[in-house]
Every structure is written in C-alpha cells, then in structure tokens.
Copies of this chain bind each other. A is one copy, B any other.
C-alpha cells in the first residue's frame, strides 16, 4: 500500500481512502491510485484490514444437526451454501461454517454468538435457542421461522401445501392423504396446516401420518396409511426426502405412481428431478432465500421485525400426472 501510494504519487493514507471508500478524494487522484493498484497487482491484506477496522468481513452459517457427520447427506444445506456464496460473490466478505451437534448446541451457540461479525444465518435452530442467540448478538437471520422477534425468511409453507392438495383433487384424485414432518418443526407445521385446511375445503377429512424430514418416515407413514386407507389415491409428503420414502413404500406395495397413486413432495430439491418417476414438488426457493438473508445481513437491515416470506410455487412433474 505504501508502494501504491508512491507509484500514484500520493501518501499511503490517500491510497487507503481510495481503495476503501473512494470518498473525499479528487477524481484525478483516485484514477491514479486505481491505476497504481492495477499496475502493482495490489490486493489488500484482509487480516490487517480486519484488525484495523475491528471487524472481519465474514458471515457465519450455523447449522445444527442431530448428527454432524450426516450434514453431507442433506441436499438442503448445500442449497443454502450455494445461495450464500452467490450473494457474497464480488464481495470481500467470506462465509464461515459452523456445524453443531444437537446436544452441544446451547454451549456452542453462545461461543459462536460472541464471535459473529457481520451477521449469522441460523439453520435448524429451535426457537428458544434462536431467541437466545438473537438476544446475544442481533445481526441474525433464521432460515425458517424461529421465535418471535428473531428475523427470519421462510417459504409460504401453508400456501404451498394447499396448492399441492388442490392440484391433486383438481386432477381427479379422490382421497389425498399426507405424511407429515415433526410436530415441533415450524416448516412442517405450516405445511401440515395447509394440507389440513385444503382438505377440509375440498370436503374431506384430513388424513395424515406423523413423520419427520427423512426417508424412513415416508416409508413407515405410507405403509401405515395404506393399511388404514387402502383406497387412498394420492399422497402429499412434507419434504422430498420423505417423498422418496413414500415412493419406495408404494413400490413395495405394488402400487404404481402416478397410475394408482399420485405423489407430491415439498422442496423441489434435485431429488424431485432425479426420482423415478420425476416428482411433482412444491418449490422452496432455498438458494434465493439464503441469498436474500445474506444480503440483508450485509446491508445491516435486519431488525427484530425483519421478515420475508417467499412464495412456494408448485412444480408439476410426472408423479402426479392424471
């Protein structure tokens, strides 16, 4: 930077001004400095800058999982990462990832809260912990609704689920049932609500099995539903992974998709497109939501009341063909 100044014929301080903000510097000087930067191939030292500014340009991604070694098997996380990185592209800001085992969450979250710089994205953090984290550090967005007062971005879970059910009845199905997520997960709750109200509106009693966002739940739930309601002809699954389980159980039971039973998942992750048959799914724009949260943190525009709710349009594929 000393050199940049020298080459541009100005002091180090002026060069710094140009490189950082560029304000209160004459047009001519600015050009000369940028030119020198190019010429010398100068790149600022992030560590030094961080020390001087007292803040590192970094966004913290915080993932809580029952089994930290399993995060590699969840398509959701990589979509989030992808969204964050795209929002960070062209920025000097980096992403820092913390994967926390569920049991360690209370302690580890406090540790992380202390070191947060620009902001943090929370995934899978239960409301209590989310609220605590937000209290300790502000500058936070939760992916999926958390406690009241914790900024969050989520998909229109209820509306998405509703559109799935409506689609199924509209295309001629007579008995649409569901495999739900866990009763305490906010996303799962919304989807369940949407399913139930849409069922009622269509003149049917809501029929569903308890589940969870995993394959096994789909398999077990489907077998249970088939046993109790052999005349079902459509299943709404709380997420794509669950839907994959539904697909397997249906195959095991000799029911064909979509001929005998129609299937709709939720997420529209790449699982939906690689499944056989390709799966109709409610699209959750995860990348977009993560990018949006990231940009909000960068712009420091997240307050306790900050909230975004994104549409979740139905992506129709073969699994629900009439």
Contact = CB atoms under 8 A, between A and B. Distances in A.
A72 B68 contact: no
Given A46-B56, A96-B94, A276-B244, A286 B251 contact: no
Nearest to A78: B78
A251 B114 CA distance: 53
Interface stretch (A80-88, A124-132, A303-311): A80-88
Contact of A287 (B50, B69, B276): B69
A202 interface: no
Given A68-B86, A114-B43, A73 B270 contact: yes
B82 A274 contact: no
A211 to B, nearest CB: 15
Interface in A264-317: 269-271, 273-278, 286-287
A286 B72 contact: yes
A287 B72 contact: yes
A197 to B, nearest CB: 30
Contact of A78 (B74, B115, B241): B74
Contact of A77 (B78, B114, B276): B78
Say which size band chain A's interface belongs to. 35 or more
Secondary structure at the A interface, as helix, strand, loop or mixed, is: helix
Given A47-B47, A241-B274, A277-B251, A97 B85 contact: yes
A182 interface: no
A299 to B, nearest CB: 22
Contacts of A286: 72
A149 interface: no
Given A43-B115, A77-B78, A114-B43, A244 B72 contact: no
Interface string A224-250: 000000000000000001001101100
Nearest to A241: B274
A72 B287 CA distance: 8
A106 B178 CA distance: 50
A69 B82 contact: yes
Nearest to A85: B99
A17 to B, nearest CB: 21
Nearest to A99: B85
13 contacts: A47-B51, A47-B56, A50-B50, A69-B82, A72-B79, A72-B81, A74-B78, A75-B78, A81-B97, A85-B97, A85-B99, A215-B274, A244-B276
